[in-house]
Amino acid sequence: MTGPVPVDPLLEVDDLVVVRGARPILEIDHLAIVRGETLVVVGPNGAGKSTLLLALARLLRPQRGEVAFRDSFGERDDDLAHRRRIGLVLPDPILLDASVFDNVASGLRFRGVPRDEVRVRVSDWLGRLGIGHLRDRPARQISSGEAQRVSLARALVVEPDLLLLDEPFASVDAMTRALLLDDLENLLRATPVACVAVTHDLDEAVRLGDRVAVLLEGRLRQCDRPERVLAAPVDGDVAAFVGVETRVHGRVVEARDGLAVVEAAGHRLEAVSSVGPGRAVLFCLRPEDVTLWSGDQPGPGDHPGPGTEMSSARNRLPGRVSRVTPSGPLVRVSVDCGVPLVALVTRASADEMGLAVGRPVVATFKASAAHLIPLAKDQDR
């Protein structure tokens, strides 16, 4: 797994292997959680994210490996003591058949907190999550968005050292999700609690995480700041998962001034990179970084005229539109220009330019937007 390793971690995972039957479903060499950070683990369904969370909570027995708080200073480190330092929120909020108050109070009651203190702390957190008015309502009679807030309040009220969230927004509609996401983001910034959240949604991860860890097929491939993971994925699988839609095999033929020239699919492409000449690479480009110009005239730079700016984009590829797919407010345009490129443009632009299959276009992108992943000699996927 690549990414900077934190010093003075709160909790460390070492050499963890979890198996189901004979198959390992999770293998983590090392993972450190820093005090106060929000680490979001992303990956497709079945990657092992929930398993990782349960392992962090010491709620399953790994085949080998250790999960431990690093600041125990000789205190008890048995499973119950460990669990009393965390707060777990499982997906599709699992609430008790009792009032909202009783649900939120349950963690405190397990720890034997005196009744008066329970009342004060629960009321405080009900307020902070905007559900004070639901205090005496039976938990089975609230909406799914409200239930998710109850579930969060229940974990936060115990003031854990580590908050574990499993797909916190999976069960709510888009609008509720947006509100919850805002509130959660603010809460996490306001409290000193460290948080590990798992999600299959990349947008949530980038939004919430101080660091993002990409988990694919039970292994952590990359753990770094969100911008780094998106812009500089460490291998082809991570690149595919984080939305780098253009991934082409090529070879660096020239390298000077921090610029590498890659030969791929018969084209010469320029990328800002320190990879040396002769190396086989995976040339990566995000669709948001591709700009399309209509017509087969190489527009920018060649025929400056009213409304046309000079472009600093060093890469210019003429081609034809091969596919147009609507994607919410945007349109995903596939361009065949020798190199298979994908561009993301607004609907308005797509309409104005009349982007349709077969239309000639010129695709441009900056050298600084391209990312090169060096491939090992035997890697040719």
Partner 1 sequence: MDIFAGSDLLEVTLLSLIVSGLATAISLAIGLPLGTWLALARFRSRGLTLSLVNTGMALPPVVVGLFVAMLLWRSGPLGGLRLMYTPGAMVIAEVIIATPVMLGLTVAALGQLDPRLRLQLLGLGASRWQATWWLWREARLPLLAALMAAFGAVISEVGAAMMVGGNIRHETRVLTTSIVLETGKGEFAAAIALGVVLLALAFLVNAVLTRAQHRGPQP
Which positions lie near partner 1, rule CB under 8 A? 54, 57, 59, 80, 83-84, 86-88, 90, 94, 96-99, 106-107, 110-111, 138, 140, 154-155, 158, 164
Residue with Cβ nearer partner 1 (104 or 282)? 104
Smallest gap from Cβ 173 to partner 1, in A, equals 22
Shortest Cβ 138–partner 1 spacing (Å):
5
Helix (H, G, I), strand (E, B) or coil at 366: coil
- Of 157 and 350, nearer to partner 1 (C-beta) is 157
Cβ atoms < 10 Å from Cβ of 209: 24
Cα distance from N-terminal residue to C-terminal residue, the chain: 20
Identify which of residues 154 and 221 has a Cβ nearer to partner 1 in the complex. Answer: 154
What's the CA gap between 213 and 113, in Å, rounded?
A: 35
Sheet strands (E) in 84-160: 86-89
What strands, in cross-sheet order, belong to the sheet with 64-69?
64-69, 11-20, 23-33, 219-224, 211-216, 38-42, 194-199, 162-166, 86-89
Structure tokens belonging to residue 4:
């900077």
Residue 7 zone, left/alpha/beta (φ > 0; ψ -120 to 50; rest):
beta
The CA-atom distances, in angstroms, between 106 and each of 111, 113, 136, 157, 255 are: 9, 10, 14, 10, 62
**Minimal distance in Å, beta carbon 110 to partner 1?**
5
Tell me whether residue 94 or residue 179 sits nearer to partner 1 (CB atom).
Answer: 94
Smallest separation, CB 45 to partner 1 (Å): 17
Q: How far is the CB of 76 from partner 1 (least distance, A)?
A: 13
Smallest distance, Å, CB 174 to partner 1? 25
* Sign of the torsion formed by the C-alpha atoms of 54, 58, 62 and 64: positive
Which residue do the tokens 């018969």 mark?
266
Q: Closer to partner 1 at the Cβ: 78 or 378?
A: 78
* Closer CB to partner 1, 141 or 297, in the complex: 141
DSSP 287: G
334: which 2 tokens? 């596939």
How far apart are CB 23 and partner 1 at their closest, in Å? 18
- CB closer to partner 1 out of 112 and 307: 112
Rounded distance, CA 32 to CA 329, Å? 38
Biggest CA-to-CA distance, the chain: 78
Contact 67, 58 (CB under 8 A): yes
CB of 183 to partner 1, least distance (A): 20
Between 115 and 323, whose beta carbon lies closer to partner 1? Answer: 115
* Closer by beta carbon to partner 1, 80 or else 190: 80
| Contact predicate 27/65, CB 8 Å | no
Least distance from C-beta 111 to partner 1, angstroms? Answer: 6
Tokens of 62: 């790994």
Could you tell me if 260 and 374 are in contact, meaning their C-beta atoms sit under 8 angstroms apart?
no
